[in-house]
Amino acid sequence: MSDVVWVFPGQGSQKVGMGKELAEKSSIARNVFNEVDRALGFDLSRTIFEGPSEELLRTTNQQPAILAASVAYLRVLRASGELPEPGWVAGHSLGEYSALVAAGAMSLADAARLVRRRGELMEEHGLGGMVAVLGLDATVLENVARETGTEIANFNAPGQITLSGRADGLEAAGKLAKEQGARRVLPLPVNGAFHSSLMEPVAEALWPMIAETTIDRPSVPLIANVDGRAISEPDELRAELRAQITASVRWIDVVQSAAAAGACRFYEVGPGKVLSGLIGRILPNASAAPVEPLLASLVY
């Protein structure tokens, strides 16, 4: 079995212009962006390539934009033979959709429509917000969350955890976290309390669309955000896509589960290098690398 994991980023990794040069040089990349535009019925690629950044930052655009860029990167690299085939795939939140497209479990068009709707619903039900807490043990922060009525949204890496909740709860949690020894508490530029119970209306509204979407058995297992298990059955994958809307992203568990199964090489397939940095903190001896430098070195 391969010792490689392809990992796909979520919101926050976007940037205006991502994939533009690649699409100009490669018909493979260009076809990906065109396919997403057709699936959505409008020219999202123009916003991706040209901005303005305020439009790309909108959750409803961010999600399909990151999906499109990630799949474009993947398909170009696979065609070039520069990317080793994986034994598993994983994605951070939104990135699970990119991972399922990569593993052949879902079509790109279906994934684009799903994440566009996911983003619309998150904007419609945008209660509360999120903060990143740096330098505090997870057990201590779990106690802080319980005392302030907030919830842990992301276990990203040791000492890097995010909280979701209503504004007053987050304010109280930030103060208490600092009293407990947190190094920094940073508000995140999001319009809702993602990965918390406040997103239940989103999960309920999106579920019929998830249930109706064709999902096949993937070529390799997906290591799930919700509990770090490797899953392959279509019904399990559907349940994961619903559950991850309200559940914590247990990225530490995802990475550690992959390592326990024999993975030691992680490739971040998509814009940026956030996940590579997190993996390096979780598994200092593993190889974790973003693919953008590989794309830059390709000769067309």
Residue with the two structure tokens 């070039």: 80
How large a percentage of the chain has pLDDT more than 90?
95
Judge contact between 8 and 98, C-beta under 8 A. Answer: yes
Please give the Cα distance from 91 to 27 (Å, whole number): 25
Tell how strand 184-187 and strand 151-157 pair up.
Answer: unpaired
> What type of residue is 246?
T
Give the model's confidence band at 189: pLDDT under 50 very low, under 70 low, under 90 confident, else very high: confident
Query: Is residue 299 scored above 70 in pLDDT?
Result: no
pLDDT in tens, 121-144: 999 988 899 999 999 999 999 999
Question: Could you give the residue numbers annotated as active site?
Answer: 93, 195
For the chain, which domains are there?
A: 4-125+196-297 (3.40.366.10), 129-187 (3.30.70.250)
Please give the Cα distance from 72 to 277 (Å, whole number): 22
> What pLDDT sits at residue 300?
59
pLDDT in tens, 157-177: 999 999 999 999 999 999 999
Count CB neighbours of 145 within 10 A: 23
> What pLDDT sits at residue 298?
83
On the question of a cis peptide bond just before residue 218, with omega within 30 degrees of 0, the verdict is no
Query: Is residue 96 scored above 80 in pLDDT?
Result: yes
Tell how strand 184-187 and strand 129-134 pair up.
Answer: antiparallel
Give the model's confidence band at 1: pLDDT under 50 very low, under 70 low, under 90 confident, else very high: confident
CA 90 to chain centre: 9
Residue with the two structure tokens 């992301």: 154
Paired with 187 in beta bridges are: 131
Report the sign of the C-alpha dihedral through residues 37, 40, 42, 43, in that order.
negative
Please give the Cα distance from 39 to 19 (Å, whole number): 18
> What pLDDT sits at residue 168?
97
pLDDT in tens, 148-158: 999 999 999 99
